[in-house]
Chain A
Amino acid sequence: MEVNPLDLDAYSLSGAVLSKEISVSEVVRSVIAQVELREPSISAFLHFDPEALLEKASVLDEKVLRGETVGRLVGVPVAVKDNMVTSDMPTTAASKILEGWRPPYDATVVELIKDAGGLVVGKTNLDEFAMGSSTENSAYKVTRNPHDLSKVPGGSSGGSAAAVAARMSILALGSDTGGSIRQPASLCGVVGVKPTYGYVSRYGLIAFASSLDQIGPIARTVKDAALLLEVIGERDPKDSTSILGERPKLVEREAFGVESLRIGIVSELVDNCSTEVRDRVFMAARLLEERGAKVDTVSAKAVTLGLSAYYVIAPAEASSNLSRYDGVRFGLRKDGSSLTDMFFSTRTEGFGDEVKRRIMLGTYALSSGYYDQYYGKALATRGLIRRQFNEVYKDFDLLLGPTSPTTAFAIGEKSNDPMAMYMNDICTIPSNLAGHPAVSIPFGLADNGLPIGVQLLGPDMSEPLLFQAAFELERLAKENLEDARA
């Protein structure tokens, strides 16, 4: 029987490539075939070049044949969100302002994937500059949810989540500023991880909100997510916020179980969810308890302030980060009769509405006379949230909650209501503000056939414990629920 390489997990696939059971070229041909089949209806990719991929594959195949050292991801397809720069592919951040830009360098994560023998298959769609929760804010295309093409895949890493869910790639990279990895992973029925702030290098990630942005893996299995995070989780001297010291091993946590782990359910996070999602979270809790975990509910009032703090801090940083798009050195330039004119025309034409909205919000929040009232207060709130989380973590090892308040919503449903759209991130934002890691794990389907995700949260550098519990939840879902994979 012919095995489709895309049905394998990354672990087995790289093993098969190493033992020469499957060639990288075969893997790539499967990817191309799958993309030809699914991409026309899903639109996950902003850049996909089959010929260049085949060339890369044959280079890798020769290496394998010659017996050269190849890394742990040899031959494994990795889709990269288009806000991470690649020297051999255009990088747009889904914005017109970067149309056609060819970065002269690779992001550190891209380098690490290449060094590990991984195959960057293409660049995936996102909300422009990662600002959004549905991938509808892309300047180029709207990505559709592989489970239901009338629904959004979530965002902003919607392209990456959809590509993995539709088996157009085995692994993908996303970036998470307020939930942008976990929420689309949840809506597409895949695993998404936002590591501790500073765990993965941000060098080469096009900044949205620098103090919140973090790159992380999207995969079909917890084990694949752990593998990818082991590959990209390296201290990087090019990123001053990169955490010093060794990253712990994660894949080995597969069989550790949850015996005597203290897991809390944050009541404030469950309160804002649909009944179906809430019920699923409590079901997960019950099943974990059956496996030996100690589960209890806990209150952390400050998390309810997360959304307001986030929508001041993130736009403030964004307004500064996006100043460099001025038409002078790269990307789009619209000439004008004066310098100011050129700045105006370039930015007016180059940025989409949501980006402009956030630049304006952020500029306002940082303006003299308003700083204390908005930015200063938001920073104080952020400190409060972090302190309250750390207080809770004195009694609990991990927290459990929903990833998204609802399952995937319809395309267009919230695009004219920014507040309704922002509410999507209510369960994910607190982790970004605290700098803590969190994982979204698919946990069955809702009545409408769409995936539900549950989220595990932990304190700084708690990745090993998070994965330990995520592996268990994955097993529990498999034993008790329908397969959430598309």
Chain B
Amino acid sequence: MPRSNTAYEIGTPWLYEGYELVVGLEVHTELKTRSKLFCSCANEFGNIPNTNVCPVCLGLPGTLPVLNKTVVELAIKIGLALNCEVRKSTFHRKNYFYPDLPKGYQISQYDLPINSDGYLDLPSGHRVGIVRAHIEEDTGKITHMGLSGRMDKSAYSLIDYNRAGVPLTEIVSAPDIHSPDQAREYVVELRGVLMALGVSDGRMEEGSLRVDANVSVRPMGSSELRTRCEIKNLNSLRSLVRAIDYEGKRHVKLYMRDDAPIQETRHWDEARQRTDSLRSKEEANDYRYFLEPDLKALAPTEGFIRGIESQIVDTPKLKRAFLNESLAGEEMSDQVEKAIDLELYPYVKHAIEVGVSPRLAIARTANELAATISDAPYLSIERFVEVLRLEEDKEISPSQAKVLLNAVTKRDESVSDIISALDLKKADDGETRSVVETVVAQSPSEWARFLEGQDQLMGFFVGKVMKLTGGKADGSVVKDTLLQLRQRDS
């Protein structure tokens, strides 16, 4: 049998012994609402256990669910952003026993989800189908006490019901993903959409965004769908990539020895970097879905849906389109990808809207602003634009602009005070010309070679001028002056 333990390399297509990957992802996202899905308890992370609870979300006898309207709005937002059909839907009960599930059933959506049949276009151009994006409630959180961390070996377990009844949207993709990298790209793009919509904070590590992967393989070029395994416990993009790669190869190896995987749920073991069987299809719960009699069907009107649609402005796709249109054909795709970041985008967008050159705005956003934004207490959109304008009007040089931008984010002073304090006023052209002349006079042998046509010496002179002016000279003025002097001296 083939032995290959080489790790999958990001950015490459996945092909293993003539097999290709077929992956569908199920992404659960907690929705950012003030209250829970069916009661008025606070939907907050990190509070003292069992403080955000009430008879309803504890599933006490006699209680009934009342649907939170904001959840419906957010779910529809997600559906519209994912190009789904939004339609009349119903709630079902998914029945199973577990201590973190207060009612003994989860209220979810089954055959009629609120959103269905959409797609998500990835930056690479690949389109992934969205089968459905439905509403359901989260469970509580159980912690098994004892060494193993597993229920059957633990002395006791603690349950926190703060999370019970928190609204979730489950987004199920079609099996359109064919490499670990594509899976990663899909999750990153989807997370971008959810964060841009303001419906999720997208934190995988804290569990507010959870991903399960349905993995199978098939001979390259075939269109069949073979037995899939569902991989759980993917807490980071890294584990997502590695788990899919591992699982795909596991399937191929089974087929290579005339064996086959069985349909089951598997657990990604981060420490051992492998998947293990959690339960097989035979052991799987029969969820006994049936229509939730305590809730009415959800039938949003066309007007309600259009109202929500009008609120959607900034999905990654729309942001990308805006920046590329502003650039009018100029290619800056790497920097555009960086600039559409949730935090950065408002800066670049505003700068372009008030007339700053898109090229400059995108470059400063993707490079300088991206590097400093995580620690920028004094950054504001106005200050950012002020710096860009100074650079555009050649009041300061590009290198000065970079220094100034960094200072502006960290110093509680006006931009003009910072310029004075750092002495960042650009040298005027006459001043620059005299410095250039001084430098030329000081380096006769280099100048002679430059006159002979050794253009690489340009950098030598520019560097000297910059040094003498403390970076205040404008590089393009220096170059122009040098070229004029060469014409004069030749």
Contacts and interface: CB of A to CB of B under 8 A. Distances in A.
Interface of A: 84-85, 91, 93, 98, 101, 103-105, 107, 202-207, 209-211, 237-241, 316-317, 319-320, 322-326, 328-330, 338-339, 343, 363, 366-368, 371, 375
Given A204-B63, A238-B64, A240-B294, 8 more contacts: A205-B62, A206-B61, A211-B293, A324-B104, A325-B61, A326-B104, A339-B151, A371-B288
> Which of A104, A239, A324 has most chain B Cβ within 10 Å?
A324
Interface string B85-100: 0000000010101010
14 contacts: A85-B62, A91-B62, A103-B55, A103-B62, A211-B293, A237-B66, A238-B66, A319-B288, A324-B102, A325-B61, A329-B60, A330-B60, A339-B152, A375-B290
Contacts of A101: 61
Contact of B55 (A104, A205, A239): A104
- What interface size band does chain B fall in? 20 to 34
A362 to B, nearest CB: 9
Contacts of A322: 104
B55 A105 contact: yes
A238 B40 CA distance: 11
A324 B55 contact: no
A98 B293 contact: no
Interface in B58-94: 58-67, 93
A202 B288 CA distance: 24
B288 A366 contact: yes
A326 B65 CA distance: 20
B286 A368 contact: yes
A320 B95 contact: yes
B99 to A, nearest CB: 5
Nearest to B58: A329
Contacts of A317: 290, 293
B286 A240 contact: no
B450 interface: no
A103 B290 contact: no
B63 A323 contact: no
Contacts of A211: 293
A329 B59 contact: yes
Contacts of A237: 66
A320 B59 CA distance: 12
Given A203-B64, A367-B286, A323 B103 contact: yes
Contacts of B151: 339
A229 B105 CA distance: 33
B262 interface: no
Given A320-B104, A320-B288, A107 B152 contact: no
Interface string B264-295: 00000000000000000000001011100111
Contacts of A93: 61
Contact of B64 (A202, A325, A330): A202
Contacts of A326: 97, 99, 104
A458 B294 CA distance: 24
Contacts of A104: 55, 60
B453 to A, nearest CB: 84
A270 to B, nearest CB: 31
Contacts of B152: 338-339
B293 A328 contact: no
A91 B61 contact: yes
A102 B477 CA distance: 85
B407 to A, nearest CB: 55
Given A93-B61, A103-B60, A375-B290, A240 B104 contact: no
B306 interface: no
A239 B64 contact: yes
A53 B443 CA distance: 109
Interface in B152-182: 152, 157, 159
A323 B61 contact: no
B99 A98 contact: no
Given A85-B61, A326-B99, A241 B294 contact: yes
A339 B105 contact: no
Contacts of B449: none
B296 interface: yes
Contacts of A368: 286, 288
A210 B62 contact: no
Contacts of B67: 240
Interface string B40-57: 000000000000000100
A96 to B, nearest CB: 14
A222 to B, nearest CB: 29
A15 B440 CA distance: 113
